Structure 1
Amino acid sequence: MENREERITLKPDNHDMRLKYYELILESRSLAELPCYPLPEGYRYVYYQEGDKKDWIAIETSAREFILPEEGESAWKRYYAGKEKELENRMFFVETTDGEKVATATAFYEPRDLSGAGWLHWVAVKREYQGKGIAKALISHTLQRLKELGYPSIKIPTQTNTWVAARLYLDFGFRPVPQNAVDSQIGYGILKTLTNHPALAGFEPVPYEGIWDSRMVQIEKRLREQYPGLVHFRVLEENGQDRILYCTESGAGEWDGAL
């Protein structure tokens, strides 16, 4: 197990499984003046068309939402299977002039949410295209579509592990849903430690050494010992058992080691 000094030297990635996980749900009810940002030159928006599922999975995998193709297939089945026709005016891709799809987001909804809010779904940019301003433009474009669809408010599901995205949503004016602010108070404290965002003034920051999940830190250490080219990893819980997936510079797989 890492000692305190080793853990303090850790630096968070923009999608980091080592951070303690808390679900964060943000909301905006002020849709009159949503920020609007243009796409960088050389990119365009296109709607989902039949057959684009493979591109959606590829983008989400590059953005570290998935490691194995089966994860992408499972997520698609859970959220979008049988609703593909709806996606033709709800799911956006950002495409290069050569036709490569490099980012995606969906103006969707959550059937279990009885508030009538629209939901910003599955925002992702391929890793090699991040940092170019694509995410900010795509988010603003998708929020405008939700507004056009007539939703009175918009919610965004995110988590502490994707803290950079959460900071961007705060920049857009989104704020914690009140009940979620209570349920994930520590999570918002972690977000404040990482971002010091003024919108989180009401939350106490978590000490830097306290933002890390020690078990996840240990898993990463063991994986890196076995796979020096480790890029990232995921831990899935299935039937009460953990599956540890890893991605290296040369491929991906499932770890069968023991902690």
Structure 2
Amino acid sequence: MIDKTIPYVKFQMERTLSQPLPDRQLPEGYQFSFYTPGDERDWQAIETSAGEFDHLSEAETYFQKNFSPYPDELTKRMTFVTDPSGKKVATCTAWWAKEGGPQFHWLAVMPEAQGQGIATFLAVKVTALLEELYPDQPAMLHTQTWNYPAITIYQKLGYTFVPGTKDFEKGMRILKDLAKRKG
């Protein structure tokens, strides 16, 4: 869940090639799948529930602008996790940056499904997918201090901060202070 109570600082992270990924499994009864037409509503619900958007209409607008123009790509790049009841509860996408490079995009897990390793499972799956789609390029992602629990996952998978973004040092101090409080 996004924590908007702390100051917002944006980061870029990257993962270089040739780093092994851990093997992660979903909890029993959970399923992994790729996007099929109609899943945009699930994506919107997941992202909104995780705090990325304040309203479903904002998520719908984002999806229409950034994903809908590429229906064939969605079926190969947008992933979901479904709980034992059949409800989609998590998503992440192996997308691309405006510059054309591999982009780990918007990992989100509904609050009721958090704390079960689903985010780590999806982070591993999407990182592996990026390596498959872009075998000779490092994977990139954008995150922010509000997503500090996800940053820990990314670091365990070998993603490192790319210095130079605005307020980078301030963001690093915020993350260090959060780690002290949580640790």
TM-score past 0.5 threshold: yes
Q: Which runs of 5+ in 2 are unaligned?
A: none
Measured after TM superposition, the shift of residue 48 of structure 1 is: 0.2
User: SS state of the match for residue 150, structure 2?
Assistant: helix
Q: Secondary structure at the match of 2:103?
A: strand
Find the aligned partners of 2:167 and 2:48 in 1 and give their Cα distance: 29
Provide the residue aligned with 1:175 in structure 2: 160
Partner of 1:163: 148
CA distance in 1, matches of 2:87, 2:39: 11
| Consecutive unaligned residues in structure 1, runs of 5 or more | 1-13, 197-207, 209-259
Q: Which position in structure 2 is the counterpart of 1:153?
A: 138
Match of 1:123 among 107, 116, 122: 107
* Equivalent residue for 1:28, pick from 1, 15, 27: 15
Alignment-derived partner of residue 38 in structure 2: 51
Q: CA deviation at 1:18?
A: 2.1
Deviation at 1:98, TM superposition (A): 3.1
Which SS does the other structure have where 1:37 is aligned?
coil
C-alpha distance in structure 1 between counterparts of 2:155 and 2:103, whole Å: 15
Task: Note closer, same or farther for the CA distance 1:41–1:135 as it changes in structure 2 (3 Å cut).
Answer: same
Q: CA deviation digits over 1:121-178, x for unaligned, max 9? A: 1110111000011111111011111111124110111101111111221122211113
Q: CA separation in 2, counterparts of 1:105 and 1:31? A: 22
How many Å separate the matches in 1 of 2:47 and 2:23?
24
Deviation of 1:56 after TM superposition, in Å, equals 0.3
- Check if 1:66 corresponds to 2:50: no
Q: CA deviation at 1:183?
A: 4.5
The answer on 1:187 being equivalent to 2:171 is yes
What SS is found at the alignment partner of 2:8?
Answer: coil
Deviations 1:176-211 (A, max 9, x none): 11323x741111111111125xxxxxxxxxxx8xxx
Partner of residue 88 from structure 1, selected from 75, 80, 85:
75
Q: Which has the larger radius of gyration?
A: 1
Q: Which has the higher contact order (CA 8 A, sep 6+)?
A: 2
TM-superposed deviation, 1:57: 0.4
> What is the number of equivalent residue pairs in this alignment?
180
State how far apart, in whole Å, the 2-side matches of 1:66 and 1:21 are: 15
Q: How far apart, CA to CA, are the structure 2 residues paired with 1:78 and 1:24?
A: 23
Per the normalisation by structure 1, the TM-score is 0.65
Contact 1:28/1:155, CA 8 A, preserved across alignment: yes
Q: Percent identity?
A: 37
Residue in 2 that maps onto 1:42: 29
**What TM-score comes out, normalization by structure 2 length?**
0.91
Deviation, structure 1 residue 77: 2.6
